[in-house]
Structure 1
Amino acid sequence: MRKPKEPAPALALWPHLKDEFYHIQHVLEVSADAHDANWRRWQKTLGHASDCRVPSPRPVTECGMTLTQLAKTNPRDVFAGRFVNCCMHPQGYAARCAWHGHESPLGAFWVVEFQNWIVAVAWVWRHTDRLVIDSVDVHEEFRDSLALIHEMYVEAAKSVLMRDGIQSVYAGVGYGETWMVPYWFLRHFESPARYSVNGLLKDDSAKIHVIADARRVYE
């Protein structure tokens, strides 16, 4: 008789994760009508959580803030945008981006936390040997720290170069709290999850600039 397959570690944690997932929805005042549907979709890919192809950056800490990559088993991941009042969450305009960050092995979320609360979030996605920080959304109470937060993302980007084949990291330009720079170019490859606002198709990283490249020398 064939030995039963061992459950993936994430699946064994389902009872704990479900309680935490519903608690987060309550704290963030997600409509109760959406709670069950959100959970059913979120838990489907937990067994493949370890397949993520976006390398986790080294933690970056500045002035009490810490930047990390959220694990796909972290129930906050798909709601990260809601922590900073942006539309990247299951019931927001950018729901497709939120779900891609959780469900796809080529997506992830890099977040900045202060006292265990998410104060900045970026959906990060992979295209071949490149990563794209699609946009950075920052909680209004931390916008005075925007320059520092941007630098934290740059340091995080440098830390993933040459890991799992990553050669360069781009960041979107000119959307929300994302970088405003004079040197940018049009992205020549497709986004995995554009979204629509009032009938207009949005692509927050249509314009990008390089923030880390394996061919550069960094101190």
Structure 2
Amino acid sequence: MKNIITILICFISIFFYSQIGIINDKDGFTNVRKETNSKSEIVYKLKENEAFWFNDFGEDWIEVFVPQDKFSVEDTDDLMIGGYIHKSRIQRIENLTLADQNEVQFKYEFREFKRENHIDNGNGKFVTKIGGRKIWGTDGNYPKIEIKKIIASIKNRPIEIHKVLFLDLYECDTKITKYKNGNTYFIHQYCSDGAGFYELLWIIDEEEGLTQRIVGSII
């Protein structure tokens, strides 16, 4: 029973109570510790502009969850590395500098969702997977809007966003906020059909292109 409760707490922590952040460290990396002290075992090294989930309950050491899948294509708990970093090393996405809107372009092309164009596990009324993947943006209902294409560029240089990275995203025709840190841009938004609320972040490096996609449910 104790193990079951622990698993449930972890599930809630990762997918419902977390925020997105990056590190704030002049060294360009921060150690993720197994326990809440600077002598504890290092379980991961977070690099500059690498996004992660974190829980902030006002403590000096903050619990973090680092996606091993950099594009969050797989939606499983065991793909998260859990640990702690000191609160002084965390930078919230919302506190980054706003990007010059002329430098970075990011635009969705939408189309109406039509069930006949997809394979799903639903019964015509309720669905949890489409094309074999968990869907973001609904709470069991079929989506109304899907992404046809993403057009992105940095300083007029086209950035490819492969369709595999948006086939699971629905109802995301909402406000986009663009941030910048160094030569890296952060495309951030909250998406929902009114119930299936989720947070979405695209990270694009000026030279390397798309480096990360992070997505998760929040309340």
Question: Could you say which structure has the higher strand fraction?
Answer: 2
Tell me which interval the TM-score lies in, with the shorter structure as reference length: under 0.3
Give the TM-score of the pair, scaled to structure 1: 0.25
